Amino acid sequence: MIDGYTRTCGLIGNPVEHTLSPMIHNTLAALLSHNLVYVPFHVEKDNIFSALKGAYALNLLGLNVTVPYKSQIMEGLVSVDELAEKIGAVNTLVRTEGGYKGYNTDMPGLYRAMRGEGIEIEGQEVVILGAGGAARAAAFMCALQNASAVYLLNRSYDKALAVAKEVKEKTGKEYIYPMSLSQYEKLPDRKFLAIQATSVGLYPDTERAVIEEEAFYRKIHTGYDLIYKPSETCFMKLVRKQGGEAYHGLKMLLYQGIIAYELWNNISVPEKMAVQVYEILKKKMGVMDER
Ligand code: NDP
């Protein structure tokens, strides 16, 4: 029950109306008997810093930040965690003395989700499709977790080049190779782990994949799509058709939320509770099949 002691967390972004985050955090609060509520806040671009100031003044415990403010918000924070600083994006704000501190839980969320599926990053050759915010987080994850090579394929080659350069500079890893999408044929003649980090195939445009040629999918042993709506994307179907394992991004969403909740409450969420929340998310998204 909401009373005078209830702590508030929330999400700022635009749009926020379809978010699943309240389901994650309010379920966790109920399971843990925490007196905490989580609310989405639709914030217009010009109001982002006044919203931040207002949130602090209203004693909000923490915030998630979503598209399109993950980089812009950093200017308004008192400090930024080292990993988030490297990635250049924050999605979680934690209340501290004098203001909010920014963290990035997307990257560790993706890592925890992939490890949970038994996918190794260390020593792997990885193909990342995309060079936007999510692809950047994936590229940093691969570099920091010691993948043996990362091929960054993007429609706009310049963006792939810029991300690869930045990841190399900030991690000291040399093996990040930018390519345009059409150059996939030049990938070495081996099988790769592929992380699909473009927005192609996202609901409602579900019949498309960023690369549709079967020849590409013959090079993939495991495909991880960051998209979770639909729960079987066209990319995943193409991976499976060539005999590969394929996963959607709902567990990444789950774990970025769980890590944020852990930061706000200074706790560690038991894995069995993560599974309970995941079951609720799956039900909401109509996910039946977990191959
Ligand atoms: P951005 O807008 O930052 O990046 C979009 C990327 O998609 C760019 O690389 C862009 O290429 C590429 N792209 C878009 N349209 C096309 C097209 N028609 N053909 C080829 N490439 C295209 O988005 P984000 O990085 O924030 O998000 C990417 C995806 O990841 C989204 O679908 C999002 O839902 C998902 N995501 C999932 C999360 C989760 O928790 N599971 C968390 C975050 C994101 P170009 O540079 O050439 O424009």
Q: Is the pLDDT of residue 289 over 80?
A: no
Bridge partners (DSSP) of residue 246 are 223
Average pLDDT of the chain, as a whole number: 96
Number of neighbours of residue 92 by Cβ within 10 angstroms: 27
**Main-chain dihedrals φ then ψ at residue 145, nearest 5 degrees:** -100, 15
- What's this model's pTM, rounded to 2 decimal places? 0.96
Selection from 119, 228, 129 nearest residue 184 by Cα: 129
Closest ligand 1 atom number to CA of residue 181: 20
Q: How many angstroms separate the Cα of 142 from the Cα of each of 34, 127, 173, 224?
A: 35, 10, 10, 13
Bridge partners (DSSP) of residue 92 are 64, 103
Q: What is the pLDDT of residues 169-214, one digit of tens each?
A: 999 999 999 999 999 999 999 999 999 999 999 999 999 999 999 9
Residue 140 binned pLDDT confidence (cut-offs 50, 70, 90)? very high
Number of neighbours of residue 179 by Cβ within 10 angstroms: 18
Classified as helix, coil or strand, 57 is helix
Q: Residues 16, 66: contact at Cβ < 8 Å?
A: yes
Pocket lining for ligand 1, CB < 6 angstroms = 67, 106, 130-135, 154-156, 159, 197-200, 202, 210, 226-228, 249, 252-253, 256
Q: What is the pLDDT of residues 59-76, one digit of tens each?
A: 999 999 999 999 999 999
Q: How many Å lie between the centroid of ligand 1 and the Cα of residue 196?
A: 9
Domains and CATH numbers, the chain: 7-104+251-285 (3.40.50.10860), 108-248 (3.40.50.720)
Classified as helix, coil or strand, 264 is helix
Number of neighbours of residue 134 by Cβ within 10 angstroms: 24
Q: What is the pLDDT of residues 35-46, one digit of tens each?
A: 999 999 999 999
Mutate to test the pocket of ligand 1, among 152, 155, 181 (most ligand atoms within 8 A of CB): 155
Predicted pLDDT of residue 291: 55
Q: Is the pLDDT of residue 133 over 70?
A: yes
Q: What is the pLDDT of residues 238-277, one digit of tens each?
A: 999 999 999 999 999 999 999 999 999 999 999 999 999 9
Q: How far apart are the first and last CA of the chain?
A: 39
Task: Pull the structure tokens for residue 5.
Answer: 């002691």
Spatial CB neighbours of 116, under 8 Å, sequence gap ≥ 6: 251, 255
